[in-house]
Amino acid sequence: MDDSTTVEDSATPETPVELELDIESLSFGRAAIARHEGRVVFVEGAAPGDRVRATITATHSGYDEAVVAEVLTAGEARVEPPCPLVKECGGCPWQHVDYQVQLEAKRDALVDCITRIGRIDNPPVAAPDPSPLNLGYRNRLKLRFAGHRMGFYRASTHRLVPVDDCMLAEPYIRDAMPLVEELVAGMSTQATRVEIVSRGRMAGLVVAINSRGRLRRSDTARVREFLDQPGCPVKGVVAWGKGWKREWGDTRRRWRPVADGPTIEAPGTTFGQVNTLANELLVQRVLEAAGSERKRFILELYAGAGNLTLPLAPLADQLVAVESDAAAAHALERSAHRASFRHVSAVTARAEEYLAAGVRQRPDLVVVDPTRSGLGSAAHDIARLEAEKIVYVSCNPSTLARDLRVLVDEGYRLEKVQPVDLFPHTFHVESVCTLRLT
């Protein structure tokens, strides 16, 4: 069961129904899978191999939902979750599952989606690259704010679970959480979301505050006073709401996608992969998929601030990177200029608009890294460029499978799918797909 599953056909039992269930596997979602009298039951809090007593929480036309009431017999995949809030917080629902089993489940999810949605038999999905760290890996943490507390929503609700610490975050972020909460709680501006971002190769953190209503005048002085504190780990603050945005201090972050490669410098609020070390693995897999031979022209779509662009640049005579976010595109252009990549051009445009305007030169390689919604209508236009190779970086197996079907129908062969685990203890999985024109 995916978080996007609709609940229009669901019903909550009038009286609690409890079942004893044997857990088969993890689903592509928060829960694990069991079966009862021919019906699939998605059970939160269960691990493969468990025998549990579960309470039915919702019934649907084709399946039921349940939560673990008691673990009767623990399976070999069950481990002690490191975080005491795992049952309350909705952020990382697989903490109670052995990490190797998590990786196998992510590969299974990719195989299932590509086979079932993409209708590609026996897809060439490799074993996932594990994250070098499965705790303390997040370089940015997005939190909700309500009632003077900072935290995460309980799964599938808008009920805040206050948190003073998050074991998935990098140590500097964890240490700063109480201080950031104190800052935001003392502001008159009505904050709704708070993000704490590591500055990577620059010292300190950036705090981004999304607000309802206007910025209160008194908060300007409060933020400046906060940043001026001796030893303050936060070096910059960004606050914004409808129709306004303010910045204080230094809000840049800097990272290096390849260990010996050039650095990228971008605003702290610009999208970047949350797992610094696993991102290096991801970039390496993209370079392997691209191949070492010289390319006359590389076209990159959904380029962000250049996480893939700068590592790819030495392979090309010309590289055009297309990105819809103007701040990210400008950051990419500046980083390429500092690296003396004069042959790299950044274009601020939506991929669909850029493709519709016509690509004058046939690319040797197209690299795409879209959002969770995937390529959509752009898949047809990309295929019609007739590039020899497409490298597709995806964070959503379902939309990836849909797009692969289009690309295969347009004449491409799926050569390899390489999962990379950027998100331990969650069901999310990144993958690098290599397609070649037949």
Residue 2 has pLDDT above 60, yes or no: no
Identify the band that residue 157 occupies on the pLDDT scale cut at 50, 70 and 90.
Answer: confident
* Structure-block tokens of residue 57: 């929480």
Asked whether residue 86 is domain-assigned, the answer is no
Asked whether residue 266 is domain-assigned, the answer is no
Q: Is 395 a catalytic residue?
A: yes
For the chain, what is the domain count? 3
Cα–Cα dist 53/57, whole Å: 13
| Of the candidates 377, 408, 386, 380, the residue with the CA atom closest to the CA atom of residue 124 | 408
Residues 384 and 294 in one domain: yes
Residue 350 has pLDDT above 90, yes or no: yes
pLDDT of residue 209: 96
pLDDT in tens, 236-250: 999 999 999 999 999
pLDDT of residue 6: 43
The distance in angstroms from the start CA to the end CA of the chain is 35
Average pLDDT in the 130-158 region? 90
Average pLDDT in the 128-153 region? 94
Residue 321 has pLDDT above 50, yes or no: yes
Identify the band that residue 10 occupies on the pLDDT scale cut at 50, 70 and 90.
Answer: low
Q: Which residue has the higher pLDDT, 396 or 158?
A: 396
* Structure-block tokens of residue 349: 């445009």
Q: What torsion, rounded to 10 degrees, do the Cα atoms 72, 73, 79, 83 define? A: 0
Average pLDDT in the 385-392 region? 97
Residue 330 has pLDDT above 80, yes or no: yes
Residues 120 and 193 in one domain: no
Residues 284 and 411 in one domain: yes
Residues 147 and 215 in one domain: yes
CATH of the domain at 112: 3.40.50.150
Average pLDDT in the 26-53 region? 94
Contact 321, 351 (CB under 8 A): no
Question: Which of 86-95, 106-115, 139-148, 170-179 shows the lowest mean pLDDT across its residues?
Answer: 86-95
CATH of the domain at 246: 2.40.50.1070
**Residues spanned by the domain of 150:** 140-253
Average pLDDT in the 417-436 region? 97
Average pLDDT in the 30-40 region? 93
The C-alpha angle with vertex 26 and arms to 106 and 271, in degrees rounded to 5, equals: 45
Q: What torsion, rounded to 10 degrees, do the Cα atoms 272, 274, 275, 278 define? A: -50
Asked whether residue 182 is domain-assigned, the answer is yes
Cα–Cα dist 12/202, whole Å: 51
Residue 156 has pLDDT above 80, yes or no: no
Residues 210 and 116 in one domain: no
Three-state SS string across 53-96, please?
A: EEEEEEECCCEEEEEEEEEEECCCCECCCCCCCCCCCCCCCCCC
* Structure-block tokens of residue 101: 């089993």
pLDDT of residue 85: 86
Question: Which domain-ending residue is among 253, 283, 305?
Answer: 253
pLDDT of residue 88: 81
| Of the candidates 41, 38, 27, the residue with the CA atom closest to the CA atom of residue 69 | 41
Cα–Cα dist 181/164, whole Å: 9
Residue 11 has pLDDT above 80, yes or no: no
Identify the band that residue 16 occupies on the pLDDT scale cut at 50, 70 and 90.
Answer: confident
The percentage of the chain sitting over the pLDDT mark of 70, rounded to a whole number, equals 96
Residues 219 and 316 in one domain: no
Q: What is the rounded average pLDDT for all residues in the chain?
A: 93
Average pLDDT in the 155-178 region? 90
Asked whether residue 334 is domain-assigned, the answer is yes
Asked whether residue 88 is domain-assigned, the answer is no
pLDDT of residue 159: 86
Residues 364 and 411 in one domain: yes
How does strand 63-73 pair with strand 39-44? Answer: parallel
pLDDT in tens, 289-302: 999 999 999 999 99
Residues 181 and 109 in one domain: no
pLDDT of residue 3: 43
The position carrying tokens 């700068």 is 310
Alpha-carbon Rg of the chain, whole angstroms? 23
pLDDT of residue 153: 86
139, containing H or E segment: none
Marked catalytic residue, from 83, 166, 395, 433 = 395
* Most confident option among 138-152, 255-269, 299-313: 299-313
Residue 430 has pLDDT above 80, yes or no: yes
Asked whether residue 87 is domain-assigned, the answer is no
Cα–Cα dist 179/235, whole Å: 13
pLDDT in tens, 195-246: 999 999 999 999 999 999 899 999 999 999 999 999 999 999 999 999 999 9
pLDDT of residue 52: 96
Average pLDDT in the 410-428 region? 96
Residues 123 and 154 in one domain: no
pLDDT of residue 128: 97
Residues 321 and 351 in one domain: yes
Residues 293 and 408 in one domain: yes
Asked whether residue 270 is domain-assigned, the answer is no
* Structure-block tokens of residue 236: 């910059």
* Structure-block tokens of residue 365: 């390689």
Residue 158 has pLDDT above 50, yes or no: yes
Identify the band that residue 260 occupies on the pLDDT scale cut at 50, 70 and 90.
Answer: confident
Average pLDDT in the 375-400 region? 96
Residues 391 and 342 in one domain: yes
Cα–Cα dist 426/438, whole Å: 36
pLDDT of residue 269: 85
Residue 1 has pLDDT above 70, yes or no: no
Cα–Cα dist 151/373, whole Å: 26
CATH of the domain at 62: 2.40.50.140
| Of the candidates 367, 383, 270, the residue with the CA atom closest to the CA atom of residue 319 | 367
Asked whether residue 401 is domain-assigned, the answer is yes
Identify the band that residue 147 occupies on the pLDDT scale cut at 50, 70 and 90.
Answer: confident
| Of the candidates 353, 361, 250, the residue with the CA atom closest to the CA atom of residue 301 | 353
